[in-house]
Structure 1
Amino acid sequence: MRHLIILLSAALLFASCKVEEKPNQKLKLAFVANGPADFWLYAQAGVQDAAKELDIDVQFKVGDQTTAKQKQIIDDLIVSGVSGVAVSPANPKNQVQMIKEWSEYIPVICADSDAPGSARLSYLGTDNVAAGRECGELLKKALPNGGKVMAFVGLRDAQTAIDRYKGLKQAVEGTKIEIIDLRTDNGDRVKARRNAEDALIAHPDLAAMVGLWAYNAPAILGALESSNRADQVKIIAFDEDPVTLNAIDEGKIYGTICQNPYAFGYESIKLLHKLSKGASATEAGIPANQQIIIPTKTLIKGQGLEYKKYCDELKASLKH
């Protein structure tokens, strides 16, 4: 019943907006992340800069990693009168219908995490299969003689997890590197560390551990340090968690594959602005495959602290 009321309210709202448009009223857009993390603060800095440049209002929302919370947030945003939403779906397979319903009222794009087969107008973010392969290339450099490897991620069904794990396995195919399994934690950082601790006990001969989401590598590092094995097991990371960046230059983490969350935020709002103003997908710059790819960057020892300084500047720029 609540869902029906929301949709009816949204329909009435948009109908009235068309009749009583106020030329001096600022356009309202929104960006909805899939969980709290420094990664999303960098995206928020990009959202903020785009909003200032375009002179529009943009709401940045962070929910927990559940479809129910994201549904509540975006339903409420539509009722409040936003003209477009960028969302990083928490569980893309289970949100196809949600995105279809939202798209009946406003332009919807996916950022960071895609929902293939949904009604979203575009995906904007990393080519995660390619990023997974880059992660695999780092792993091969860290383990030139091969060895057993355990991988970790938050949600197995998230498209980012599926694609990165696929790319990782592709990169090490035909080598002496053996990826034993992919362990999940449902976004629970305590469980992420416990997963790493359990893996070390179950597989004392592990040569490396790969964290496919930002918080995984710091959790792995904590587990290794508590077991006094930090100098025995290589860590390959994703993203630019401050702990990861410090640990890279300290030689505790071999390297990381950085996305560009600032660009995710900035470019998403620029794209939504065009779409909400009536531009077609082609006019807005969306290619035929509906994929706008933002390049990644590999960081190794000697590059961590410099990149951390850049990230700290992004966080410092946020208005609270």
Structure 2
Amino acid sequence: MAFTYYLAAFATVGMLFGSSALMSAHAQSKPTIVFVANGASDFWKAAQAGVKKAQSELPDYKLELQYPDQATVASQNALMDNLVSAGVKGIIVSAVDPKNSTGEFDKLAGQTALFTTDSDAPQTKRIAYIGSSNILAGEQAAEIAKKAMPKGGKCMGFVGLLGADNARERIQGFKQGLAGTGITLVDVRGDDIDQARAKSNVSDTLVADPNVTCLVGFYSYNTPQIYAALKEGGELGKITVVGFDGDPVTLGGVKEGSIAGTVVQQPYEWAYQGMKMIAAYLKGDKSSIPANGLDIIQTKIVDSSNVDAYVAEQKAMQ
């Protein structure tokens, strides 16, 4: 009897241990999909919320958002190489410098399901792009400038990564939108996603060219740094400011009238819809992949007429 009891107990423990091991193995075997940002910025907090929302609907997957150590091609590529080596099944990435990443992206595309967001790499073997039309966003920024500066003026632009597609296309769209007006974009200064440098670029401009009457922030953190530099220099409200994205400082400036307006994107939707698209793709469902490889999520202008409504909308999504 005792032998039978201990044998049964041992079998029960073995079954429990085996069940636990299987459960652990199952958890570890969940396919992982990673959203890879182009650098550390508060802008990506909304994307993190989108990843979290998608995770609640995709329990059979492990979803993450990760930043490279630095906003450089080398650092971003090293991160993605490590992810693929760890067995990640899908990556959606905001490319730091698409033109100098073609070989790396094509290699990654042969090892994992590779999608892009925010900054596309259309010349590579990525499956699809999910994000804004940056040219259209640039044109919308031009609409803000034209409304605020009917008599014309000189604008200086500020951006993080001059080589990134999102930067080049926003600048292109802004210039296109200004065609035939008295407003010109005289130059654009990059900062490599260094916010201290972003602020000093603005301060240097104010000293070097007093004829500049408009400052344009092409990345999410550029406009808050423009705001800070103008405030320190006693120029806040004297120079037209055009922004990108919905940083709280930017939205506060729009509300108080020191920022003419901002073009907002939807990184929450990029992450949420992107994760669901990749998960479906990994299951063999390609029906959500656009024929042209572009899933465009619209941008919009936020100015004094709708800033309160936009802020309320964003709070409701959190």
TM-score, length of structure 1 as denominator length: 0.87
Q: Secondary structure at the match of 1:149?
A: strand
Q: Residue 30 of structure 2 is aligned with which of 26, 32, 35?
A: 26
Q: CA–CA distance in 2 between the matches of 1:66 and 1:148? A: 31
Mapped contact 1:271–1:284 kept (Cα < 8 A): no
Counterpart code for 2:278:
L
Which residue is equivalent to 1:200?
206
Which residue is equivalent to 2:288?
285
Q: Is 224-233 or 248-257 further displaced after alignment?
A: 224-233
Q: CA–CA distance in 2 between the matches of 1:313 and 1:95? A: 37
Which residue is equivalent to 1:69?
75
Task: Indicate the percent of aligned positions where both proteins have the same amino acid.
Answer: 37
Q: Secondary structure at the match of 1:206?
A: coil
Q: CA–CA distance in 1 between the matches of 2:105 and 2:183? A: 39
Q: CA–CA distance in 2 between the matches of 1:79 and 1:306? A: 45
Which residue is equivalent to 1:59?
64
Mapped contact 2:237–2:257 kept (Cα < 8 A): no
Q: 5 Å matches for 1:182-261?
A: 182-261=188-267
Whichever of the two has the greater Rg, that structure is: 2
TM-score, length of structure 2 as denominator length: 0.87
Mapped contact 2:243–2:259 kept (Cα < 8 A): yes
Q: CA–CA distance in 1 between the matches of 2:287 and 2:275? A: 12
The alignment yields a C-alpha RMSD, in angstroms, of 1.8
1:47 and 2:55 equivalent?
A: no
Q: Offset at 1:310?
A: 4.3
CA offsets, 1:30-58, max 9 Å, x none?
A: 11111112221101111111121021211
Q: Residue 307 of structure 1 is aligned with which of 280, 285, 310?
A: 310
Q: Is 301-310 or 114-123 further displaced after alignment?
A: 301-310
Q: Offset at 1:22?
A: 5.9
Number of equivalences? 292
1:35 and 2:36 equivalent?
A: no
Mapped contact 1:249–1:303 kept (Cα < 8 A): no
1:297 and 2:300 equivalent?
A: yes
Structure 2: give runs of 5+ residues left out of the alignment.
1-24
Which residue is equivalent to 2:177?
171
Q: Offset at 1:313?
A: 5.6
1:97 and 2:100 equivalent?
A: no
CA offsets, 1:251-285, max 9 Å, x none?
A: 11110000000001001101110111123xxx332
Q: Offset at 1:135?
A: 0.5
Counterpart code for 1:27:
P
Structure 1: give runs of 5+ residues left out of the alignment.
1-20
